[in-house]
Amino acid sequence: MTASQGGRSSACRRGAQEVSEPVPYEPRPGDTPFDRLGRERTLQLVARFYEVMDRDEPALARLHPLDEDGRVAVANRERFGMFLVGWLGGPQEYVAQHGHPRLRMRHSQVKVDVAMRDAWVRCIRRAMDDLGIEPELRVWLDGRFADVADFLRNAPG
């Protein structure tokens, strides 16, 4: 039976499901992750990320230079904030000040194994949870952050 004969189309049967699922997000000019978040929320994400790391993932925090209180140093927080602004599609201030990120090279002196990768991903996801990142953007960011964290692995296990 067709929809015109009184039957339901598959779209109609799935209607509630379609409405509740986020539309896949893909960045494009004028609609980058940075455009959606803005500088202030991006830097709030960075601040929350390090708060979560300092509190919940001390082994990961200790891989960074620490301040006198045993927290990840402000200079590292600021550098990551500058990097993330550009990585999300905002101004490329990090590149202007520090050159190409060369993420693998910059992390080569640190053992990044599966445990540290997973700890990093947990921190950024908790920070995004706390900020309430919109669902469409969140799905995209979850994938990209996981990809980058895995790319930086340089040790087995």
CA distance 135 to 34: 15
The enclosing H or E element of 45 equals helix 33-56
pLDDT at position 21 is 66
Token couple for 135: 């669902």
pLDDT at position 5 is 47
**Domains annotated on the chain, with CATH:** 27-151 (1.10.490.10)
Entry pTM = 0.83
CA distance 33 to 46: 14
pLDDT at position 24 is 85
Between 105 and 90, the higher pLDDT residue: 90
Looking at residue 142, what DSSP letter applies? Answer: H
Residues 6+ apart with CB under 8 A from 144: none
pLDDT at position 18 is 53
